[in-house]
Amino acid sequence: MTFNQNQRAGRWVAAGILLLLMGGVFLLVYAKSPIDNRNAVATVFIPKGAGFLKIVDILDQAGMVKHRPLFVVLYLLKGVNSRLRAGEYELATNMSPSEIAEKLVSGDIKKRMVTIPEDYTLKQIADRLVAEQLVSEKSFISATTDPAFLASLNIDAASAEGYLYPDTYAFNRGMMTNEIVEMMVHRFWKKVTPQMIQRATDMGMTTTEFVTLASLIGKETGVREEKTKVSAVFHNRMKKGMRLQSDPTAIYRLTDYQSIVKKKHLNNDTPYNTYKITGLPPGPIANPGIDSLQAALYPAPVNYLYFVSNNDGTHQFSTTLAAHTQAVLKYQIKRKKE
């Protein structure tokens, strides 16, 4: 090779190095620069199993990719293309591609704070989770009625009804349905102690019977101070062999479910209707809170056998049928006047 040829080759190498340096600087500037200055915010969901190019498509459609080829090259060079984690993210266009990569790799996912009220039924919980785009109704019902899964959660019942503890949870869309159910049931077992289970056993109740009784108490009254009295009524009735005649049981599992119990509902021929059956229903009719669970185990020391609504959320309790009949007439008349 002649001197001129060596000189030309050296120039090409230098030019190549210069181009690489310029490209590196340009890519570095791109990596650190915001997409734009509008600070437009988007919620992006990356499903489990999505490949790198699919994720790029999702980000691009959300307006979070500027100069797609550079974006792809940057992520490949950074080695993050295989480390992007599934989930729901809140991203903004004032973020740089590097900041977006850091968020997706670290799994800084959006939390959905979901409150499950006390005494919601399994179906109502499913509806709330579906509305939050966390589960499908089919997957939730399937998970909460799967015998093997229930056994793994220490639930000896036909469904997770009663064991889905009412509370506020931080869920995310990357969670599987089983994970959500498991979190709620674990919260139940944190609240329901071994001492409580032993207390139920000492009273002659299985765990499911104890939770079932608590679910009736919760559906009958939302007034904390009344729960032990309602519990006493049910305990006293069972001791006497009387039917519990709990209105909420008459509408449980009806396809045309309503929160208001009508007289016609009391004749429904279902295994849960305590106007038709003796003793407790075959399982819980809702998911009770700790006050109802405690009340089921520690009824008030009273002889009440009846109660009727005062139409203000509270109840009038009676020991005899005659006193109860008078109370019913009184509050029926009051209701008609109102």
pLDDT in tens, 89-111: 999 999 998 899 899 999 888 99
Q: Is residue 333 part of a domain?
A: no
**Are both 269 and 250 inside the same structural domain?**
yes
Work out how many domains the chain is built from and give that number.
3
Q: Is residue 275 part of a domain?
A: yes
Last residue of a domain, one of 191, 207, 227: 191
Last residue of a domain, one of 106, 139, 172: 106
What's the CATH code of the domain at 28? 3.30.1490.480
Measured between alpha carbons, how far is 288 from 124 in angstroms, rounded to an integer?
13
Measured between alpha carbons, how far is 135 from 317 in angstroms, rounded to an integer?
42
Question: In this predicted model, what pLDDT tens digit does every residue of 33-57 receive, in sequence order?
Answer: 898 888 889 999 999 889 999 999 9
Measured between alpha carbons, how far is 57 from 61 in angstroms, rounded to an integer?
6
* Cα three-residue angle 322-273-184, rounded to 5 degrees: 120
pLDDT mean over 258-270: 64
DSSP-derived 3-state class of residue 168: strand
**Are both 119 and 47 inside the same structural domain?**
no
Identify which of 45-49, 219-223, 306-310 has the greatest average pLDDT: 219-223
Closest CA to 35 of 91, 89, 93: 93
**Are both 82 and 34 inside the same structural domain?**
yes
pLDDT-derived band at 262 (thresholds 50, 70, 90) equals: low
Q: Is residue 229 part of a domain?
A: yes
Domain that holds residue 43: 11-106
pLDDT-derived band at 327 (thresholds 50, 70, 90) equals: confident
**Are both 17 and 102 inside the same structural domain?**
yes
pLDDT at 150: 97
pLDDT at 26: 55
Average pLDDT, the chain: 87
Which residues make beta-bridge pairs with 168? 115
**Are both 27 and 86 inside the same structural domain?**
yes
**Are both 183 and 226 inside the same structural domain?**
no
Measured between alpha carbons, how far is 31 from 239 in angstroms, rounded to an integer?
74
Residue type, 171: F
**Are both 166 and 142 inside the same structural domain?**
yes
pLDDT-derived band at 151 (thresholds 50, 70, 90) equals: very high
**Are both 230 and 186 inside the same structural domain?**
no
Q: Is residue 170 part of a domain?
A: yes
pLDDT at 337: 46
Measured between alpha carbons, how far is 220 from 309 in angstroms, rounded to an integer?
9
**Are both 100 and 158 inside the same structural domain?**
no
The answer to whether residues 216 and 245 touch, using CB atoms and an 8 Å cutoff, is no
Last residue of a domain, one of 106, 122, 140: 106
Long-range (24+ apart) CB contacts under 8 A made by 196-200 are: 196/293, 196/294, 196/297, 199/297, 199/298, 200/296, 200/297
Question: In this predicted model, what pLDDT tens digit does every residue of 2-38 receive, in sequence order?
Answer: 545 555 555 554 444 545 555 456 567 777 889 888 8
Measured between alpha carbons, how far is 71 from 104 in angstroms, rounded to an integer?
14
